[in-house]
């Protein structure tokens, strides 16, 4: 059984001109010990999917589908029950470590908080555990630094603290939403390596959300590519990156500075932008930007299985794959 099983997740709101869906029919499974990359540009709906799993979407958002975590549908839980999962078995690492930490509390207190909340540790026990956690995420002199406030730390150190908060209660699933976007390139690599090592140590699973294809290399076991609220391609990392099936995935890979994995193809940025969710084209929502678009693309694409575990949602697939 999958640890997390998202079925037909749709997230939207009632706008002035009718219902607008930001996430459309997303299906996603992740098993224990696995790292899943969720790849997409800004506005593709990947962060909203993560927020939906944690139940942190604004109340005006309308959600349908199922989010099964260890067999329980999180969408059917009351807020109080959901609180018992969050920060406990289900943890999140945020994008912007400076704003994700409370400037008025010491980092030790912030790391200790989930322990006090879920494990009911005493103040002293929680503090000791927090210092251990800070050591595990590689913060130098953790006992002293626990008394520091977030503004006294560097960006990379802050992100380590955010990770320590997520790890506090030995989660089975960590959702990392662009965990390195706010950091320097050098620090990015360190943080990703740290996350991967910790997830492996704990035999947990991680959803790594990013717009950076390079970050997923040597990290993700499987990949989901999102575009305009839908998953357009999914499969094992190697299969997707060596044989991208969807035109969008191919263009994403070509936009990579290294070229598509040593093929020597020139760097080609993707023209245009993700269409706003209230004015997507009918049918395939990528067809405005797709170089291969045809009249046929006005129909709505359905996922096609190319080989076991590798799917893509493109109407031209038989020709594209060849």
100 belongs to the binding site for other proteins (CB under 8 A): yes
Site for other proteins in 136-175 (CB under 8 A): 149, 151, 162, 165
114 belongs to the binding site for other proteins (CB under 8 A): yes
Euclidean distance between CA atoms 232 and 34, whole angstroms:
21
* 210 neighbors 39 (Cβ within 8 angstroms): yes
**Binding segment (CB under 8 A) for other proteins, from list 2-10, 53-61, 292-300, 305-313:** 53-61
Please pick, from the candidates 86, 145, 160, 289, the single residue that binds other proteins as defined by CB under 8 A: 86
- Smallest gap from residue 306 Cβ to other proteins (A): 28
Complex with other proteins: residue 36 or 111, whichever CB lies closer: 111
* Among the listed residues 215, 224, 242, the one whose alpha carbon sits nearest the alpha carbon of residue 312: 224
133 belongs to the binding site for other proteins (CB under 8 A): no
Give the CA distances from residue 171 to residues 63, 95, 204, 247, 303, in Å, rounded to whole numbers and listed in that order: 24, 19, 7, 36, 32
Give the helix/strand (H/E) hosting 29: strand 18-30
Please pick, from the candidates 142, 179, 247, 277, the single residue that binds other proteins as defined by CB under 8 A: 277
Three-state secondary-structure class, residue 121: coil
71 belongs to the binding site for other proteins (CB under 8 A): no
44 belongs to the binding site for other proteins (CB under 8 A): yes
13 belongs to the binding site for other proteins (CB under 8 A): yes
Q: Which residues of 290-312 are buried (b: 16+ CB within 10 A; e: fewer)?
A: beebeeebeeebebbebeeebbb
* 279 neighbors 294 (Cβ within 8 angstroms): no
**Binding segment (CB under 8 A) for other proteins, from list 25-33, 95-103, 244-252, 263-271:** 95-103
Site for other proteins in 178-237 (CB under 8 A): none
């Amino acid at each position: 059984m999958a640890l997390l099983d998202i079925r037909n997740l749709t997230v939207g709101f009632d706008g002035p001109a009718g219902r607008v869906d930001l996430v459309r029919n997303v299906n996603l499974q992740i098993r224990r010990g696995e790292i899943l990359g969720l790849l997409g540009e800004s506005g593709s709906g990947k962060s909203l999917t993560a927020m939906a799993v944690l139940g942190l979407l604004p109340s005006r958002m309308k959600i349908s589908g199922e989010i099964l975590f260890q067999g329980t549908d999180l969408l059917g839980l009351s807020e109080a029950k959901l609180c018992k999962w969050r920060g406990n078995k289900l943890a999140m690492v945020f994008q912007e470590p400076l704003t994700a930490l409370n400037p008025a509390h010491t980092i030790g207190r912030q790391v200790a908080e989930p322990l006090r909340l879920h494990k009911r540790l005493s103040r002293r026990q929680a503090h000791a555990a927090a210092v251990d956690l800070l050591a595990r995420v590689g913060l130098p002199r953790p006992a002293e630094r626990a008394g520091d406030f977030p503004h006294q730390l560097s960006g990379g150190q802050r992100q380590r603290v955010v990770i320590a908060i997520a790890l506090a209660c030995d989660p089975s699933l960590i959702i990392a939403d662009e965990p390195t976007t706010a950091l320097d390139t050098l620090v990015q690599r360190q943080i990703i390596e740290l996350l991967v090592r910790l997830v492996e140590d704990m035999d947990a699973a991680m959803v790594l959300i990013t717009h950076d294809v390079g970050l997923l290399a040597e990290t993700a076991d499987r990949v989901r590519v999102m575009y305009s609220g839908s998953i357009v391609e999914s499969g094992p990392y190697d299969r997707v990156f060596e044989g991208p099936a969807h035109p969008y995935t191919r263009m994403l890979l070509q936009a990579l500075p290294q070229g598509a994995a040593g093929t020597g193809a020139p760097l080609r940025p993707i023209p245009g932008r993700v269409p706003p969710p209230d004015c997507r084209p009918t049918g395939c929502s990528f067809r405005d930007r797709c170089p291969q678009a045809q009249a046929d693309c006005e129909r709505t694409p359905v996922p096609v299985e190319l080989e076991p575990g590798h799917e893509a949602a493109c109407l031209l697939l038989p020709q594209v794959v060849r």
